[in-house]
Every structure is written in C-alpha cells, then in structure tokens.
Amino acid sequence: MPHLATERARRAGVLPPGETERPLVLVQRKNSTAIVAEVCPQALRRGLRVGVSLGEAQARVPDLTLWPHEPQRDRALLGQLANWALRFTPLVEAQTPNTLLLDVTGCQRLFGDEQNLAQQAQAGLVRQGLQARAALADTVGAAYALASAGSEAVVVVPTGCGSAYLAPLPAAALRIAPAISARLYTLGVRTIGDLLHLPRASLPARFGQELVLRLQQALGEVFEPVAVHDPGEPPQAEVTFDAVVRDLVTVQVAAERLLEAVFAQVLQRELGLRRLECVLYYERVPPVALSLGMSRTSRAREHIAELLRRRLEGVDVGDGLSGLKVIARETARWQAGQGELFEPRDPGADEALGCLIDRVVNRLGAGAVMRAQLVDDYEPEWAFRYVSVVEAGCVAEEAGAAETGLAAMTRPVRLLPCPLPVRVIALCPDGPPTWFGYRDGEHVVARAEGPERLETAWWRGGDVRRDYFRITSESGEQFWVFCTLPERRWFLHGVFA
C-alpha cells in the first residue's frame, strides 16, 4: 500500500469535503529542518518526492496541504489491516511502514485458485479507500519486489518462474539499503537481471553480505518465514440469558457484572481503558454495539460503570435481549499519577477532570467537546487547530512540543477571533506606538518590546508581513499589536492576562 500514510490522513478528514483532490504531504522535523515524509499521488504527479524540504515543496506546489507525519497512527492502521487479512490465511505479518505479508500456502483452494485469492485481497483494500498492489510468488522476497516495484495491480507468478519476473525490476526492490542500491546504480547494475549476471562470489566483498542474503531469499535459496501476526484477544466477557430479557434493570446489572470481569483482565495485563464496547444481542433483530470513549486512559471502575449504565438507559429492550458482551476495544499501558512534593496537588485531580469530560462527551457526542492543539506554523491564526478531546486526550501538551515562529516573544494565551484595527501614534515609522486607541478606550504606552517580524504564508493566497510589538500601557495592561507591511496599518491581536 504505497500511499497508506496519506490515505489514512485523508480518511481522518484532513481536507475539506469539497477539496479531496488537493495535493497532500505529511511533514516531519529532521534536526531543525521540516522535510516531506510522505506524498500523496496528486503531489507525486506534480513532481514532489519524499525527502525534499518543506520550503521547496511549497514553492513547487503553492496549493499544497500540510499535515504532521504520525507514524504511530500508521502502525495502528496497519495492525488493523493485518487483523482484517486473517480472513485469507492465519499466517499474516504486518511489516512497517505499509506492507502485509501473507503465507497462503494451502489456502488458495478455499478461494478457487491463487489468482482469485490475490484479487480478492487487493480489491478488499481498495474498497477501504487504499491503493494496493498484490503479488503472489514462491518466496517472500519475490512477492515483495513485484508488489513494491511492479506496475500491475495483481501479479501471480507461476511456480519456478520467479527469476524471469524479477529480472526487469530495479535492484532496490530486493529490500537492500539505499547506499548499496546507489552503489549498484553507479556501477551500471540497474536491474535484478543485471545483478544475476555478476559472479555471486564477488558480491560480498564489494557490497556486503546483505545483498547476497536478499538475493538468495528472493530466489528461494534461503528460506524466509512469515512472522505470525497475533492480534490477541482484547479483554472481554459475555453472558447468554436463559430466557429473553425485557427488563432494563436486569440488563444493567448483567452489564456491570461483565464490566467487573473485563476490569479484572485489564488490571491483570497492567492496562487502562480507552474505549469500551457493549454489544447487545437481540432475539429477532441484529446486534447493537454501544461504544464508550474515554478522554484519557482510565481505571476509574465506578465512573465507567456509571457511563455504561446511562448509555443503557436509552436502549430499547422491547424486542428482548438474548445476551450481552462487554469488550475493552482500546487499551493503553497504565501510568499511575504521582503527587507533587513542593506544590501539593490532589493526584486524583487529573482523573476527576477526565471523568467529567467523559460524562459530557458520552452525553453530547465526541464532536461536541473539542480542545486546541498546537500546530507548527509561524502565522498565529494557523498555529492551532481544534480536535476532539476523545482523539487528542485531555492531557496538556508539553511546552515546546510544537514551538511556533514567535517562540522568542511570549504570545497571549488567547488571541482575538479577528484582529481589531486600532488608532496609533508612533514617533518613528518603524518603531512601536507611543499611544493607541481602539473602540472607546485610549492607552498611553509606557514600555514596548519588539519588533518581531513575521513574513510567511504567501502560499495561502497572499503575503503576510507584520511587525509584532508587546506593549504595556501606563495602567499596567499588556497588549499584542502588529503593523502590516508595507501598508502600515495597525491591529490589536491579543491581550495578555
């Protein structure tokens, strides 16, 4: 799945609904430079490549959409896809960053033949919104090379014909280090076929043992197993009623007993709950799943039991329930809170805040409770975004986790929704104001810090050039004002508490 990361970002709603075809890149920090970590097909067609600097990418494609690279989320999605692929074979390996290896030996008879099995696997990924290429061969190395470097959506290599299919592929398809691939290219060894014509005994001394091992694995001379993906059963408990139950209190009591059993498993594994699922099995209608999301990893048993009890109050039990199942659908490693030594604080305060947010979220919905998240952007209006507290959690980010361009000058905690024009008197054109007024108020400036110049965001449709000042009035109030360049218009952007 060559574009797994960018397709996951698109599925997460990075782009507005009407702009789904805009080029998208995922950005990460390397030392002090922002570089492109992943590119979508649209950006690829416009000449962008992984590894270029962010400034170069924006210069080439002005309408580019940027998003942080989140490899942990990509790994989580790949694990979910590995669980999905278990329908084809019990031997599945999730190989980061974007590959699934399946050992389908003996399973092809269940799907008619190997061609049909490979087509079903590839089509299943496409239906989930992912571009995918599938290859089936005698060895893991050959299948990987054909899927990663081939041009066809589905390739099935006849038994014993791996060398012929591998010959036209680039040598890099053998999963060798980029340095080895570059050295081969410099020497004129462009394809695997060229590599096969070289004396095998001379390769280790010139290119190392890795090249020989990968070549032997692709040709089947050295066996390469598929590491079995173990999805692991999540903590769960279920009950089947002896008779159809139509009493809500009975259902709530049964659900709480199942929750006790699930909590025992969660504690035994040293985990905490992030999302709980309660499945209601009816006698004559399809099952219904109720999901409870937590804003932070929790072990507050009574709190979660109360959330579950309230969710069950809205369930229609008139059709009769035949059973219940409670599943800890998402868990995380538990880290207990620690009290402060010199600044006494209730260690349960954070847990209490999480419980309050959970109650509000499960009553109003995940989209109704949002929190600001810092974004690495120089322009103040774009230096944050709002995300669901269930997704981002309620734990505050560390200072400096996403520093912005004006880090040297402390910004107000809260900006005005829209900069307000102000009347200003300044002694010199490029200097700070000595007096300013906005609305009905007038302020004499006692002290000023700045300017801090901001020049950016030309790729958003217009240059932004501002000089920011932090000014203190004679009454002690502090304001954040800026002057636009070259128009020399003044605006109030924030007020310091």
One-letter amino acid for residue 132 of the chain: A
Question: Does residue 245 share a domain with residue 342?
Answer: yes
Position 483: which residue type? C
The count of domains in the chain is 4
Q: Is 383 domain-assigned?
A: no
Give Cα separations from 92 to 8, 86, 154, 246 (angstroms).
21, 7, 18, 42
Residues 205 and 162 in one domain: yes
131-146 confidence digits (pLDDT tens): 999 999 999 999 999 9
Domain assignment present for residue 377? The answer is no
Q: 95 and 1 in contact (C-beta within 8 Å)? A: no
172/283 same-domain check: no
Query: Is 377 within 8 Å of 404 (Cβ atoms)?
Result: yes
The order of strands in the sheet holding 288-298 is 236-245, 321-333, 271-282, 288-298
> What confidence tens digit (pLDDT) does each residue in 455-482 have?
875 666 667 889 999 999 998 889 999 9
CA-to-CA dists, residue 136 to 146, 157, 227, 396, 462, angstroms: 9, 6, 17, 47, 51
Kindly indicate the confidence band of residue 435, based on its pLDDT and cuts at 50, 70 and 90: very high
pLDDT mean across residues, the chain = 85
Q: Using CA atoms, how far apart are residues 296 and 391, in angstroms rounded to an integer?
A: 9
Residue 391 inside a domain? The answer is: no
pLDDT at 171: 92
Q: What is the CATH number of the domain that holds 309?
A: 3.30.1490.100
Task: Tokens for 267, please give them.
Answer: 């504690």
pLDDT-derived band at 336, boundaries 50, 70, 90: low
**What's the angle, vertex CA 29, arms to CA 25 and CA 32, rounded to 5?**
135
In a domain, 409, yes or no: no
Alpha carbons 105 and 91: distance in angstroms, whole number: 9
297 and 355 in one domain? yes
Q: Phi and psi for 42 in degrees, rounded to 5?
A: -65, -40
Report the relative pairing of strands 288-298 and 321-333 from DSSP bridges. Answer: unpaired
Same domain, 133 and 29: no
Rounded-to-integer distance, Cα 489 and Cα 423, Å: 9
The dihedral formed by the CA atoms of 341, 347, 353 and 359, expressed in degrees to the nearest 10? 180
Q: Write the DSSP symbol of residue 191.
A: B
**In this structure, are 211 and 320 located in the same domain?**
no
At 411 the pLDDT is: 78
Please tell me which of 155-159, 225-229, 401-405 the model is most confident about, judged by mean pLDDT: 155-159
Report residue 497 as tokens.
């508490």
**Band (408; pLDDT cuts 50, 70, 90):** very low
User: Residue 354 pLDDT more than 80?
Assistant: no
Mean pLDDT for 358-387 is: 76
pLDDT at residue 401 is higher than 60: no
- Together in a domain, 156 and 144: yes
What is the CA angle 326-389-64, rounded to 5? 120
Quick one: what percent of the chain has pLDDT higher than 90?
A: 45
**Residue 324 pLDDT greater than 50, yes or no:** yes
Q: Which residue has the higher pLDDT, 357 or 214?
A: 214
pLDDT attached to residue 393: 60
Query: Which of the listed residues 158, 184, 219 is the one where a domain comes to its end?
Result: 219
Among the candidates 172, 187, 219, a domain finishes at 219
pLDDT of residue 458: 61
**Model pLDDT, residue 31:** 73
Which of 362, 385, 406 represents a domain boundary (last residue)? 362
Full residue range of the structural domain in which residue 464 is found: 415-495
In a domain, 299, yes or no: yes
User: DSSP letter string over 260-274?
Assistant: HHHHHHHHHTTEEEE
Answer yes or no: do 77 and 64 share one domain: no
Query: CB of 237 within 8 A of CB of 326?
Result: yes
Q: Are strands 288-298 and 33-39 parallel, antiparallel or unpaired?
A: unpaired
Rounded Cα distance, 331 and 444, in Å? 56
- In terms of domains, do 351 and 435 share one? no
Do 312 and 254 share a structural domain? Answer: yes
Residue 277's pLDDT band (boundaries 50, 70, 90)? very high
pLDDT attached to residue 239:
94
Shared domain check, 471 and 337: no
Q: Is 389 a member of any domain?
A: no
The verdict on residue 444 lying in a domain is yes
What's 235's DSSP letter?
S
User: What's the pLDDT at 337?
Assistant: 55
Whether residues 173 and 148 fall in one domain:
yes
DSSP characters over 123-147: HHHHHTT----EEE-SSHHHHHHHH
When mean pLDDT is compared across 101-115, 188-202, 355-369, the lowest value belongs to 355-369
Strand partners, 29: 34
- Determine, yes or no, domain membership for 292: yes
pLDDT by residue (tens digit) across 45-95?
999 999 999 889 999 998 888 889 988 889 889 988 998 998 899 899 999
Distances (CA, A) of 452 to 107, 243, 401, 411, 419: 66, 73, 21, 11, 17
- Per DSSP bridges, beta strands 384-388 and 321-333 are unpaired
Q: Which one, of 145, 151, 156, lies nearest residue 104 by Cα? A: 156
